[in-house]
Amino acid sequence: MSLQLPDEVQKFKKFVQDRDGIVEEVRSGKYTWQQLFDIWRHDGDDDQFWDRYELKTASSNSSKNDYMKKLSNVFDTISKIDFEQLEKQVNNLSKTIDQVQKFLKETKGQNQVNQPSQNPFSQNQGQNPFSNHNQFF
């Protein structure tokens, strides 16, 4: 034996199921089902009170449309790229990087040749402090 809901309650139930956010607001305690039902029955489903709750089908379609627009924009941008020109630019950049690396290696090599060794044990550093050990004895 099943209990048949009145037509008005069934219509309200369908109305609530078709909109995002109503159930969440009842669960959070912002409204009770009775308050919302009374607003719906008194003011109807066209009242501006309900404007804050988007239709579920409309929001899913709009998100799909947004996604398709973004995807279309990506493909448009890609189609406008001149890949031959891009390849030339990448090759030029690669050559420039090679030249900079070559310059840095040459500069580093010249600095090592022109500068004395920084080794503290090198004989080129002047007199060894331990070479004249007789001065202490």
Average pLDDT of the residues in 26-41: 94
Q: Does the pLDDT of residue 38 top 80, yes or no? A: yes
Both 11 and 25 in a single domain? yes
- Tokens 């008194």 belong to 42
Both 49 and 19 in a single domain? yes
In percent, the amount of the chain with pLDDT more than 90 equals: 39
24 is a domain residue: yes
CA distance 56 to 19: 5
Both 61 and 91 in a single domain? no
- The SS3 call for residue 122 is coil
How many separate domains does the chain show? 2
119 is a domain residue: no
Both 73 and 107 in a single domain? no
Both 70 and 86 in a single domain? no
95 is a domain residue: yes
pLDDT of residue 113: 61
Of 75 and 57, the one with more pLDDT: 75
Cα 125-131-134 angle, rounded to 5 deg: 150
Entry pTM: 0.41
Range of the domain at 101: 82-113
| Contact between residue 99 and residue 91 where contact means Cβ atoms under 8 Å apart | no
Both 60 and 87 in a single domain? no
